[in-house]
Every structure is written in structure tokens, then in C-alpha cells.
Structure 1
Amino acid sequence: MSEKYDVVVVGGASAGYAAAVAASHAGAERIIVIEKAPRDEVGGNCRFSKMGFRTVHEGTDDLFEMLNADQQDELRGKFKVRPYTKEDFASDLDRVTKGLVDPELARTLVEDSRDAIDWMTELGHKWLAWQQPVDRDGVLEFPPGTVLGPVGGGLGLVEQWIKIGNELGIELRTDTRVSSIIGDFNRVTGVIVDGPEGRYEIEAKTVILASGGFQASAERRARYLPPGSDLMKVRGSRHNTGEVLDMAIQLGADTSGQWQGGHASPIDASAPNVEVNNNVNRYAYPYGISVNINGDRFFDESERHRTYTYAKTGWAVARQPDGVAFQIYDQQANGMYPDAYRAATPVEADSIRELAEKIGIDPTALERTVNEYNNSVNESVPYDATVEDGRNAVGLTPPHSNWALPINQGPFRAYKVTGAITFSFGGLKTNKDGQVLNTSQKPIRGLYANGDIVGMFYHNYPSTSGMTRNVVFGGRAGAHAATEAGR
């Protein structure tokens, strides 16, 4: 059996659907989205994410107008956010990737970010202010780069994309796994798939790969990521296993991104091994200290706002003995816990010594660490949770750069955490139109890629910029693929 389509999209999450919808708008007539998951598991990592989008904006009035009506009523007169400029976004990308992000892709992501959000709004996506704000005398100040999230979170986003696709006549075929890409170093002409009825060929004028990273494969984590990564929990879909990425590389596609890196964040140590939801995220670490099982601190908990550090903090935890750590807080952290902590049951005690005994750490070691931290807090700098306030722990190694408050107001709390990987950074190399480049740096005709299968990030990434990337480059890849298909 053989079928023919203008555009075949491999992967049914946001990266795939953004490309498929853009291809339809650009004139492609026969479009199919191939998804190996069953229908009730479609959506990749989006299904398990609370979800946000990083975009440039002009501040409070600009973003308030984008919020859905119910939240506007709730936040009217209380909503505040500083502008987030193109220069801010570009600086964040350059800094956290240590200057290694592809300059053309970075520039395109920044320049097109707001247009991408406006396009989604026109399509029918609706928005909430989703990040936890800081309450300053009744005014809620949101972190400037990461305000907008879709109504319904990641699952709501996926279902809205599918609804839009259905209205455009885009076919979604689930329980169907790509087993081969038809083509060579210069040209791709379709895919071979394994569906419920067996193996068959789909001819395509263009193919867009949006099947995610390789993080759900323990074998590939062991192959590419740091030692011990095969034992890490997976904060996302079990279906993102990387075989389509390998197929493209075998054709001669070039690679990019950091192959020994990925998005890894701290989560509850008792979380499931895979398909972890947001209730296990543990992102309040800037407002306390984190210690390993020896009672030692091991990273700068407050280097930046957590939206710039959470995706690398999981690696710091994973490197500790037994791959676990404990987040330690006192009562001054109340009000700084993200919503996910509501689902947690911390260990509590009236003294640090008692807390140490309850969590299995040598009490003398933990008391020493807490005392060293407390004695280093720079109380001459005012505390301000709405900005990176520079209130540090003087001379402490590792440093504690912001929001330092002595841990001295019991009862004290401890949360046991581990590191979980969300998506891998190594992937295919593309140009700004989503065309996959071969190792001779020429586009492989008929082959495009979008989403986590593309290697764009190094060391770290600004939170939620991956979702914006999916729409920016999905729009470009879909439009370019439709044009190529129509020739």
C-alpha cells in the first residue's frame, strides 16, 4: 500500500501542528500528521507541562490585553510586568547558552516571537498569566519574559492545535510509527510507517520531522548524556525516544546543539520514572538552600530567577551522591513556593538538628552548613523578591547570589528532590526556514525539522523559549514546505 501527500508531519505535538497548520495556510492541500502514540497520549511533552511562551512585549498594558476575559476580571488593577525587549531576549539566549546558540536562529526566534504569539491568538489560542507573581502591596508583579501560557496548559494547547488542524482538513493518524525515511543525502520523498494494519509507504513532496528529542530512551541517554543519565527520571512523554532523529542522521543530516546536554530540572524524588506531571516540580530553591546527603551545599541556588536556572539545576542534583538532594527552608519562604508544592508533604522539624535526623543527614554536618550560610548573609542589602536583589551570602562557596535570608525561623522544612530530564539539546541542524542541512551544509530537499529534534540549545536555555521556537520555526518550516510541495 502506498499513499501520497503534499506534506507529511512526523509528530503530533505543538511543533508538528504549528508546521502543519502553517503549511495549510500556505496552500498545501494534502497534509497528514503521523503520531506513534495512541490518541489519548498524543502531544509529546506538552501533555505533561503547565506550559509558557517567551515573547517580547511592551509591558503591563500590552500583555494584559492578551489575557482571557476571566483573568482580566481577576487581575484588573493588580497586574504588573516590566517590558521584555528584543535586546532582553537576545541577551538571555546568548548568556545562558554561553554564546553558542546559532546567531541566525537566535535572531529569527527573537524577531518573530511576538508575531508567532499573535498568529496563535488569531487561530483561537487563549492566554493566561501562568507564572507565580510576587505580591507587592496588592500589586502582582510577574517575571517579564515568561508571562503567557495557554488556557488549559500543555494538554489544552495540544487539543486546541488538533481542533484547528481538523477544521483545516489536516489528518491525524495515531498508533503509527515511522520505520524509515525514504531518501538520501540530497532528497527525501516520503516515509515508511508501521501502523495497526502493518507496514506501508507514504509518498510525500515534503516531510517535516517534529518527533521530539531522545530523552525517553535510556539507551540513548547512556550513549550521549553524562554518566548515570540512563537512570534519570523523564519529565515528559515516554514516546520521545529518538529513532527518527537517528534515521535523519543516517541519511547524512548534520547535527547541532549540545549532545551531552539537555533540559533537566529538580523534581520530587518519589516521582514516577516517566511521564511526570507538574505537581512534582520543585522550583523554590532560590529562597532556601539545597544540600546533598552529606549535608553540603553544591550550587548557587539563587544565581538568577529560577526561569533561567531550573533547566540546569536538575543536572546539579543528578551529580550528587545517590542522585538526590534536600531543599531546606524556614518560615520566611512561605509565599514563595510555586503551586506544585501544594501537592508535596515536606519533612518538618522545630530545629535543624531534628530535621537532619528525620531526613537521614548527619545533624552536625547540616547544622554546620546552615550556620555557615546564616553567618554569611549580607543583611546590609535590602531583600526584594521582585528583582534579582544582590542580597548574597558573602564569601560563601558555592555562592548564594540573591534573596539570601537566614534560615532561623522554624518550623523548618525539607523536600527530597532528584534531577529529571525534559528534553535533549542535541539534534538536527536546520536553517531559519526549518530546512534540514546535510553535512555539506546544503538543504536536503524535501526535508524539514522543528521542535526538540532540532539542536539549538547549549548548556541551558531561557525557560519557555522552546515553546516559542516551535511556533516561530514551525510557521517558517510549514510555509516553506508548502511552497516546495507546490512547485
Structure 2
Amino acid sequence: MLSSTGERLSEADLTGHDVLVIGGGNAALCAALSAREQGASVLLLESAPRQWRGGNSIHTRNLRCMHREPTDVLSDAYLEDEFFDDVWRVTGGITNEVLAKHVIRASETCTDWMKSYGVRFQPSLGGTLHLGRTNAFFLGGGKALVNTYYQAAERLGVTILYEAEAEQLVFDDNRFDHALVTYNGSPRKVSAKSVVIASGGFESNQAWLEEAWGEVSRNFLIRGTRFNQGKMLRSLIDNSAMVIGDPTQGHAVAIDARAPKYDGGIVTRVDCVSLGIVVNRDGKRFYDEGEDFWPKRYAIWGRLIAKQPGQVGYSITDSKAQGRFMPSVFPPEQADTLEELALKLDLPVDAVLKTIDEFNAGVQPGNFDHSVLDDCHTQGVTPEKTHWAQRIDEPPFYGYPLRTGITFTYLGAKVDEKARMYMANGELADNVFLAGEIMAGNILGQGYVAGFGMTIGTVFGRIAGTEAGNYAKD
């Protein structure tokens, strides 16, 4: 057996570590690095091949950070109360307030810690993002981030195995004993003094999605890795972990319907929703496109589209929207008339024209400003558009077909502030720590605010690694 560095491993190398980290994305890597900071020996198991390492983290761009004053990459200030208000609003109050505030406060130290391992940042982008004050962007995106962490982990002596899939966790009462792992096509028994499970959600497991959502889930696309099958989550449930979250809740956005089934990533997201209207396949609007800033609302649109006939929607804009948003990797359908655009999108022409005529008639005079919650709204239209409402009347016209793009699921296991996992009987597991998507449902009961998943993963990855390392050394 060979490690990531080409070093030959013995069976003893799979059983003699202080900390076992299961997962290969941001949370897992933060845990591995933090455990090494405590002097613990660490084995990290990544189920994906090396070229696909990093899980959903490779598709990310930023994390949301509390800060008291401007920094080298963040403007103004973003304090705890405002940050928490944003989380409270998007979750509708379905959040663990103690854990949410714990993450928010800890996020203030994240960028400096990340820089200490070589992560570099860049100024935020413009357009519909409105994130220059709240979110720190990684230079080179998530792929560069995880590559930097992997290099640091190898440099510090973390043993990394690729295509090493943990199939099952074996507990002795409330204590982790060992994991059953498939590596190089063969079963292996892997033990450690403590374990950090940061293996993601179940979003790539079609059978589990269908169990939660029904047949409509067959029309969903998966924005991230195909390797998040939820095996460790299922094993935790089988070992009587305390379950938290709704299996139908998760980070689900509107993405281009032409995206691939897996790994379309950020470039398939359609960001012009707030600049126009969205109709279903019957040509009817179904939700307020201008409810709030896009980073606070983009993650509701996947669920909205999932509830529409055929699980499909269509974003329609005119020439006034061009240059105001980050375009999808796929070019929009374009036409000189709305009739022609409806035909290109295979929509009922009369219904689309009626919807747009009614919308245009309802647009009230105002001062359009996409950088603020402006006074451009509709009146007498159902649903109303509360901000950025402009008549769709200047050709050429543009249309994007939309599907539900699942990023990650919120069903997980309950943890405390030290990332320790609760058992169903209310007791804490003895040596089990969780980080990332597998515990994000403690804080994200529903909804999403941009960059917060990476914040949760970074903060709880560091906590889990530190606590697991200290447990093992003690």
C-alpha cells in the first residue's frame, strides 16, 4: 500500500494513529491540520481519487467572516449581531443560536489561520454578489484552497490515502473502535484513538434523495462531488447517533438546466434571477425575484423550482440586465422578440406574453440601484416583486432554463460546542468529533447565506481537530 507521497504503508500504519480523519474537503483538512497542531499523528481518508480530492470544497470561492474593521480583503465592518441576524433571517429561526454564535465569533480568526498555511485571498467580485463587506474570497477558488491545505498536511506529516472509502463505523457502546475501509479494492480495518468525521452529506446518493423527496429528485442536478454518498452519516445513524435536521432541507440553488449531473460547480449557477422574472413551464411567475439581496436568497430557488411542474423554471431578462451579473458557463437563449424567446425555451407563447404584460403594467416608477434594496417594485401583480423591478421591454431578450442544483444536505448528527457528537440517549460519544456538512444542520435548519457553509466547516474543522488531537494525546 502506498500513501499520497508514495511511501509504502504497512497494516500497522492503518491502526497506529492518534486521530483518524474521514473526509477530504475543507472541514476534514482543517481538522487534520489542527490535530497536528496538538502534536497528534493523523491519518486522513479521502474516498475520491487524487485528481478529484477536496469534495464540494473545490467548487467554493469564499467564506463569510465577522470582522470589526476593514481588512486587506474585506471592507467596513461585519459584526456579530448583523451576521447572526442574517443567519436567523435565512433559517427562519431554525438554528441552534448557541452554536451559530459560536461559529460567528470564531470566524473572526479564520482568515489569519488560513493564511498561516499559505491560503491567499483576493478582492470580492461585483455584480449580484454584494459580498465585499462580508465574504473573503480565496485566490484561485476552492481548488487552490484545498491544494494548499493538502500540501501543508503532507509537509506536516499527515498520512493521506486516496480512494480509501470508509464503509462502516464500529462502536463499542458510546466509543468509536474502528472503521471498515475499502482501499485498493480490499477491505481494511482502521483504528485510532479518536475520529473526526467530515465526510459530507448524502446529496450524491440518488436512492436517499428519492427516499426523502420522492420521484421529483430524479430531476435534480448535483452541483458538487459524486462521492458524497452519505455512508458515514448512515453508519452514525445505525450506531445510535442523535439525528438532527430534515432530510429534504439543504443548500439547493437554481442552476442552468444544461449542467452535468455531477460536479457542475459554481459556473452553472444562474445569477440574473433578481434582474428579471422567473416563470415555470406553464409561463407563470411563482415567487418574488427581488425579495432580498441575492446572497441571502439564491439558495431558496432550488427548492422553489423543485416544487414547480417538471422541476424546471426559466429566468427571463432583457438587455438592461446585461453586464450586471456573473454569467453562467452556458450562453443564454437570445431573441429579438419575446415570442421568439418563448419558442426557443419551449414555453407557451401566449402565457409568457400575458405574464410579462401583467408584470410590466405593474412596475412602479423608481430609482433602480442593484447595490441597495431600491424602490423599484410592482403593484397589483401576484407575486409582487419588491425590489429591482424593471419593465422587460428592451431587446434583445434572454432566457436561461433552470433546474434544482443540490449542493449539500442538512440532515446530520447533533454536536456540542467542542464538536463532540451526541448519542440518541443524550450522552456524548467518547471519542467522536464531527465537522462540516455532516453537522451543519445543527446551525442550518433551512435556507442559506453565501459562504456560511465554508465558515462552519472551517470553524468546526479546527475545533474537531483540536479536540480529537487533545483527546488522543491525553
TM-score, normalised relative to structure 1? 0.91
Q: Which residue of 2 aligns with 1:276?
A: 264
SS at match of 1:316: helix
Shift of 1:355: 1.8
Shift of 1:35: 1.1
**Whole-Å separation in 1 of the counterparts to 2:214 and 2:248:** 6
Aligned partner (choices 450, 456, 470) of residue 463 of structure 1: 450
2:114 paired with 1:103? no
**Whole-Å separation in 2 of the counterparts to 1:142 and 1:266:** 18
Shift of 1:144: 4.6
Aligned partner (choices 92, 96, 112) of residue 118 of structure 1: 112
Shift of 1:337: 2.1
Shift of 1:133: 4.4
Q: Which residue of 1 aligns with 2:8?
A: none
AA aligned opposite 1:232: F
**Whole-Å separation in 1 of the counterparts to 2:446 and 2:460:** 21
Aligned partner (choices 31, 43, 50) of residue 42 of structure 2: 31
Q: Which residue of 2 aligns with 1:195?
A: 183
AA aligned opposite 1:10: I
Aligned partner (choices 314, 324, 332) of residue 346 of structure 1: 332
SS at match of 2:291: coil
SS at match of 1:309: helix
2:11 paired with 1:11? no
Shift of 1:439: 1.1
**Whole-Å separation in 2 of the counterparts to 1:38 and 1:20:** 18
Q: Deviations over 1:77-118 (max 9, x none)?
A: xxxx44322111100111111111111210101111111222
Matches within 5 A, 1:119-198: 119-133=113-127, 142-144=130-132, 146-196=134-184, 198=186
Structure 1 unpaired stretches of 5+? 68-80, 135-140
Aligned partner (choices 222, 238, 242) of residue 226 of structure 2: 238
2:436 paired with 1:451? yes
AA aligned opposite 1:478: G
Q: Which residue of 2 aligns with 1:137?
A: none
Q: Structure 1 residues 461 and 179, CA, compared in 2 at 3 Å: closer, same or farther? A: same
**Whole-Å separation in 2 of the counterparts to 1:50 and 1:212:** 14
Assess if the C-alpha contact under 8 Å between 2:374 and 2:388 holds in 1: yes
**Whole-Å separation in 2 of the counterparts to 1:362 and 1:177:** 48
Q: Deviations over 1:18-72 (max 9, x none)?
A: 01111111221x101011111111110122x14210011245xx23x248xxxxx
Q: Which residue of 2 aligns with 1:71?
A: none
Assess if the C-alpha contact under 8 Å between 1:18 and 1:475 holds in 2: yes
Q: CA RMSD in A?
A: 1.7
Q: Which residue of 1 aligns with 2:6?
A: none
Q: Which residue of 1 aligns with 2:384?
A: 399
Q: Structure 1 residues 51 and 480, CA, compared in 2 at 3 Å: closer, same or farther? A: same
Q: Which residue of 1 aligns with 2:459?
A: 472
**Whole-Å separation in 1 of the counterparts to 2:134 and 2:261:** 28
Q: Deviations over 1:274-321 (max 9, x none)?
A: 111322211110000011111100111111111111111011112222
Assess if the C-alpha contact under 8 Å between 1:377 and 1:394 holds in 2: yes
Shift of 1:335: 1.8
Q: Deviations over 1:379-426 (max 9, x none)?
A: 1x3221111114211232112111111111111111111111110011
2:27 paired with 1:40? no
Q: Deviations over 1:186-226 (max 9, x none)?
A: 11122121111622222211000010000000001011236
Assess if the C-alpha contact under 8 Å between 1:52 and 1:146 holds in 2: no
> How many residue pairs were aligned?
460
TM-score, normalised relative to structure 2? 0.93
**Whole-Å separation in 2 of the counterparts to 1:104 and 1:50:** 26
Assess if the C-alpha contact under 8 Å between 1:5 and 1:202 holds in 2: no
Assess if the C-alpha contact under 8 Å between 1:54 and 1:145 holds in 2: no
**Whole-Å separation in 2 of the counterparts to 1:163 and 1:385:** 40
Q: Which residue of 1 aligns with 2:348?
A: 362
Shift of 1:145: 5.2
2:83 paired with 1:89? yes
Structure 2 unpaired stretches of 5+? 1-10
SS at match of 2:367: coil
AA aligned opposite 1:462: V
Q: Structure 1 residues 184 and 283, CA, compared in 2 at 3 Å: closer, same or farther? A: farther
Q: Which residue of 2 aligns with 1:57?
A: 67
**Whole-Å separation in 1 of the counterparts to 2:213 and 2:98:** 26
Assess if the C-alpha contact under 8 Å between 1:189 and 1:446 holds in 2: no
Q: Structure 1 residues 287 and 403, CA, compared in 2 at 3 Å: closer, same or farther? A: same
Q: Deviations over 1:133-176 (max 9, x none)?
A: 47xxxxxx943554311111111111011011111101110111
Q: Structure 1 residues 461 and 253, CA, compared in 2 at 3 Å: closer, same or farther? A: same
SS at match of 1:439: coil
Q: Which residue of 2 aligns with 1:482?
A: 469
2:330 paired with 1:305? no
